[in-house]
Amino acid sequence: MADGRRDPPPYGRDRVRGSIGSHSPYEGVGGGIGRGRGGPPPMRGGYPPQGVTYHTQERRPQWRNPSPGPSDGSPLPSTSAAVSTPAFSTNVHEPLPQPVVAGPAALAAIGSTTSTMALSRQHRPGGRGKRPLADTLRTRGPDAPSKHGTTGQPLLLQSNYFKLLKRVDWTLYHYQVEFIPPCPSPRLTQSLVNEHKKLLGGFVFDGVQLFTACKLSSDELVLHSQHDRTGDKYELHIQRVAVVDMTDETGLQVLNLILRRAMNGLNLQLVGRNLYDAAAKIPIREYHIELWPGYMTSIRQHENDVLVCCEIAHKTMRMQTCYDILRECRRHDRNFKDAFKRAVLGCVVLTGYNNKTYTIHDVTFDTTPESTFDTKNGKISFMDYYKNKYNLRIRDAFQPMLLSRAKKKDTRSGDSELMALVPELCQMTGLTDSMRSDFKMMRAMADHTRLNPDRRIERLETFNRRLQTSPESQEVLKVWQMELDRRLVELPGRLLPQEMIFFSTTSNGVQAGENADWTAHFRDNPMFATVRLSRWYLVVPARCQREAGDFLNCMITAARGMRFEISNCEMVPMPDDNPNTYIRTLDAIINKDPQMIMCVVSNNKSERYTAIKKRCCVDRAIPTQVMVQKTITPKSGNVRTLMSVATKVVIQMNCKLGGVPWKVKIPLNGLMTIGFDVCHDSKDKSKSFGAMVATLDHDNRGTPKFFSTVSHHSNGEEISNYLPLNTVKALNEYRREFGELPKRIIFYRDGVSDGQLQYIYDHEVRSLVEKLGQIYKSAGVEQDVLLTFFIVNKRINTRFFDHRLNPRPGTVVDNVVTLPQRTDFYLVSQSVKQGTVSPTAYNVIYDTSGLKIDHLQMLSYKQCHLYYNWSGTTRVPAVCQYAHKLSFLVGQYLHQSPSNMLEKKLYFL
């Protein structure tokens, strides 16, 4: 919960300062279900009694859930397929400068061994592989104006990229392969193609598409293969599709395969999608966890060169197995079966015998390692299977079995719907909620994961050195005629001028400062606009009354210094802190028409917070401020230590009433700035909520107004069909406030991956432009709408270094590591006290504003100063952060859209 506590300090959550990016060790290990040979044995549907024999087909079967279902009578959670578009689009990109490509010998070196790597994930028979490639949307034409700005102080920076030095004139030939009869198994298709190695020469095959180094004798071939075990005969119809330009996404995927194969020489382990160094694991024995250091790499064509991006990653491994958790549950819980299920369901585990990760979807206590299943050699028990295949002895023959559901795309290729896992062999990954709330443990982890720029550079240089000196890695690079630069890429950057923070229309403003933090200035300045708070109530459990009274006095003192009028509130004590008691108390207070209600809670229990917010945000429309008792308890009994917290809470309350703490100068009149983000429902993953927040600025001297709305998305989608409709609502609100439509609209869209760009452009942007055109035309405005549509991405691996230090806030990079098919730039808008600062990527996918790139960059930086829950800059524009806060509130606690009567207030801060 965010109320009563300002957003995390410099070493807080991902989006705030000091973030280690999207690959935080505090997240559980992601990844798909392990497949193929070397995995756990497949299982069929049902939960037979202990000791009975499973009857499974020889080829990996499908499970069918019988009645009554799982052992506890509850069904397995359902899975939903994501909306996606066909892979390997090659008709969108225009030709780019020719990058490094490979020769025939290199393709022969990869041969047919790449089917388990990146290409194999992209396209598979039977409807698989519909996930789009990283980026198929070109938004920058060849005659577009320069995207390189000039405003600011020039800088020379380094980045976590290495340049590919050699260029080879080489092209891949792209063929489509069809199997008759259809072959659903990826392993079988690979085997059938391997029979024709001599004819095909060096090739890469992903299950449907074939890429060869040499042109085949005919554009259409029919080859014949035979299954070596069953004797079934297949025809392979091979048809040439295109010549692959190595600068497009398909060619770059081949380069990524080469790099991944070269990294095999570093003896790294694949966990999920990334490689980690288990030999260099960092044990934190005090908390029974391990940190595995690793690398995330990617290779692609940038402005002038093919660059390899390398980022340091960490995975959190717990020094306990699922069986350890089972024993703890048996010792401490009478109903240990339910306790064990609650502890492991939804968790991701690592099986050391094949280094694969699985998500636990169910537990069956009716099946044990003594249970048997069918194989081609007859029945075998799970105990014997692991003993014979991996030489692993299972100690407890009566432990339950874990069940992991395969993804739909995996089941289509012949994989079992469910995999059986032995708790003894499953190592827990990630962190529990109780672990995340342990400040000391998180701090101990941060000492190893939050690398300062100099340490990060050392690690990157070590990675490069290992890659250059490993014989196996060098052999792969040599075969492919590739050479990696030993130095980090150097690139130009610029430092934008410091922003002026205005606390009133008459003041000259104060500079934001080198670290973009103006907290100290609140001691001497009022807030820009305030709303008098005269009718409000303080709901507090009886045992917290003394702390609440002391904190209330601090709030009144802090508000007086900021010219915010707060009348003494009416304190309403409660006998206990039960959620129902809060509901009854709130109902009685709401009938008195208060401006605001403050609630003091004893802890962070989500049920209580949810009850309060639902009653006041959904059933009624009353802004609320929720404070945790610990937050308002003075340290060492000194009440003065609460003044900093009281100041933040007073600012927050003023914003929820409609006030504005500060402004920055934006030299554009008639501006509406919109932010949009999506959050999934914490109770039902098939649902998500999209939140849109708009700032309405009619002129630079006036007080900005706000408008927010929430839309429900079905099937967990992040694409919004309601975006044009919600934007029209914001336009109507602007017209009601100022009597005219905005002259210019700046839209910041968060929560979009690169693979969704084309879909966003086709469905959201085009429909938005069409709808805006209708609105403005009906209002008598004939010219095109002045709209700029940004895609904002903070989950990136790019990092910048300024003489082995963090770049200062306001650093902009729009060259070298940007992409030629985009109008894009990176912006460092924060300073951090720990770790390496994370830049934010901005991609302009639609722009009719006529503004120069300098103006767009400076406007985006200005927007990072306007988030009123933190007296400093944020990683993303304020409207994006507001949208995130609103969607998070709805997705995590409300689970339904809030009252429309709150649309004009920042009630979600």
Which residue, 1, 4, 2, is CA-closest to 627? 4
- Please give the Cα distance from 73 to 279 (Å, whole number): 43
User: How big is the chain by its Cα radius of gyration, in Å?
Assistant: 29
Asked about 802 being catalytic, the answer comes back as no
In angstroms, what CA-CA distances link 864 with 705, 827, 857, 859? 17, 10, 11, 9
Residue-wise burial string across 131-164, b where 16 or more C-beta atoms lie within 10 A, e elsewhere:
ebbebbbbbbeeeeeebebeebeebebbbbbbbb
Which residue, 769, 790, 791, 773, is CA-closest to 781? 773
- Please give the Cα distance from 787 to 673 (Å, whole number): 10
Q: By the 8 A CB rule, do 772 and 853 touch?
A: no
**Angle (CA) 169 158 468, round 5°:** 50
Mean pLDDT, residues 715-723:
71
pLDDT tens sequence across 179-222: 999 887 777 888 899 888 888 866 778 788 888 767 888 889 99
Q: How confident is the model at residue 374 (pLDDT cuts 50, 70, 90)?
A: confident
In angstroms, what CA-CA distances link 148 with 151, 370, 581, 826? 10, 67, 59, 11
Which residue, 133, 46, 128, is CA-closest to 93? 133
Percent of the chain with pLDDT over 70: 82
Residue-wise burial string across 557-582, b where 16 or more C-beta atoms lie within 10 A, e elsewhere:
bbbeebebebeebeebebeebebebb
Q: Is the peptide bond before 181 cis (omega within 30 degrees of 0)?
A: yes
- Please give the Cα distance from 873 to 17 (Å, whole number): 9
Q: By the 8 A CB rule, do 853 and 149 touch?
A: yes
How many CA atoms lie within 13 Å of 16's alpha carbon, on the beta-carbon side?
16
More confident residue, 185 or 797: 797
Displacement of CA 908 from its chain's centroid (Å): 22
Q: How confident is the model at residue 274 (pLDDT cuts 50, 70, 90)?
A: confident
Q: Which pLDDT does position 749 carry in this prediction? A: 95
pLDDT tens sequence across 771-785: 999 999 998 888 878
Q: How confident is the model at residue 83 (pLDDT cuts 50, 70, 90)?
A: very low
Q: By the 8 A CB rule, do 214 and 201 touch?
A: yes
Determine which one of 248, 305, 362, 750 is catalytic: 750
- Please give the Cα distance from 536 to 548 (Å, whole number): 14
pLDDT tens sequence across 635-667: 877 888 889 899 999 999 999 999 999 999 998
Q: Which pLDDT does position 67 carry in this prediction? A: 35
Q: Which pLDDT does position 594 carry in this prediction? A: 95
Sign of the torsion formed by the C-alpha atoms of 353, 358, 364 and 366: negative
Token pair 């500079």: residue:
511
- Please give the Cα distance from 89 to 590 (Å, whole number): 57
Mean pLDDT, residues 6-33:
34
- Does residue 589 surpass a pLDDT of 60? yes
Q: How confident is the model at residue 128 (pLDDT cuts 50, 70, 90)?
A: very low
Which helix H or strand E contains 321, and what residues bound it?
strand 306-321
Q: Which pLDDT does position 269 carry in this prediction? A: 83
pLDDT tens sequence across 219-260: 899 999 988 778 888 999 999 998 887 667 777 777 887 788
Q: By the 8 A CB rule, do 546 and 535 touch?
A: no
Q: How confident is the model at residue 59 (pLDDT cuts 50, 70, 90)?
A: very low
Q: How confident is the model at residue 86 (pLDDT cuts 50, 70, 90)?
A: very low
Q: By the 8 A CB rule, do 282 and 448 touch?
A: yes
Residue 370's φ and ψ, nearest 5 degrees, are -80, -15
Q: What is the 3-state secondary structure (H, E, C) of 418-472?
A: EEEECHHHEEEECCCHHHHCCHHHHHHHHHHHCCCHHHHHHHHHHHHHHHHHCHH
3-state helix, strand, coil in the chain (%, to 5): 30, 25, 45
Q: Which pLDDT does position 101 carry in this prediction? A: 29
- Does residue 332 surpass a pLDDT of 80? yes
Contacts of 902 (CB under 8 A, 6+ apart): 617, 621, 623, 708
Q: Which pLDDT does position 751 carry in this prediction? A: 81
Mean pLDDT, residues 319-345:
91
Q: Which pLDDT does position 410 carry in this prediction? A: 56
- Does residue 500 surpass a pLDDT of 70? yes
Enumerate the β-bridge partners of residue 217: none
Exposed, middle or buried by CB within 10 Å (0-12, 13-18, 19+), for 167?
A: middle
Q: Which pLDDT does position 169 carry in this prediction? A: 59
Enumerate the β-bridge partners of residue 510: 501
- Please give the Cα distance from 833 to 309 (Å, whole number): 24
pLDDT tens sequence across 432-471: 878 888 889 999 999 899 999 999 999 999 999 999 999 9
Q: Which pLDDT does position 416 carry in this prediction? A: 61
Q: How confident is the model at residue 116 (pLDDT cuts 50, 70, 90)?
A: very low
Q: By the 8 A CB rule, do 574 and 582 touch?
A: yes
For the ranges 77-91, 563-577, 671-685, the lowest mean pLDDT is seen at: 77-91
- Does residue 508 surpass a pLDDT of 70? yes
Tokens linked to 566: 């707060």
Sign of the torsion formed by the C-alpha atoms of 364, 366, 372 and 374: negative
- Please give the Cα distance from 253 to 87 (Å, whole number): 12
Q: By the 8 A CB rule, do 102 and 168 touch?
A: yes
More confident residue, 635 or 767: 767
Displacement of CA 580 from its chain's centroid (Å): 35
Tokens linked to 448: 């190893």
Q: Which pLDDT does position 636 carry in this prediction? A: 77
Q: Which pLDDT does position 41 carry in this prediction? A: 62
Q: Which pLDDT does position 638 carry in this prediction? A: 82
Token pair 């910041």: residue:
748
Residue type present at position 573: P
Q: Which pLDDT does position 574 carry in this prediction? A: 94
One DSSP character per residue, 42-64 reads EE-SS-PPTTPBP---SS-PPP-
Token pair 């809470």: residue:
649
Q: How confident is the model at residue 123 (pLDDT cuts 50, 70, 90)?
A: very low
Q: Which pLDDT does position 684 carry in this prediction? A: 81
Asked about 699 being catalytic, the answer comes back as no
Length of the chain: 909
Summary mean pLDDT of the chain: 82
Percent of the chain with pLDDT over 90: 52
Determine which one of 7, 677, 697, 802 is catalytic: 677
The pairing of strands 203-205 and 209-212 is: antiparallel
Q: By the 8 A CB rule, do 369 and 381 touch?
A: yes
- Does residue 308 surpass a pLDDT of 90? yes
Q: Which pLDDT does position 168 carry in this prediction? A: 55
- Does residue 118 surpass a pLDDT of 80? no
Contacts of 657 (CB under 8 A, 6+ apart): 531, 533, 595, 596, 623, 905
Q: By the 8 A CB rule, do 844 and 788 touch?
A: yes
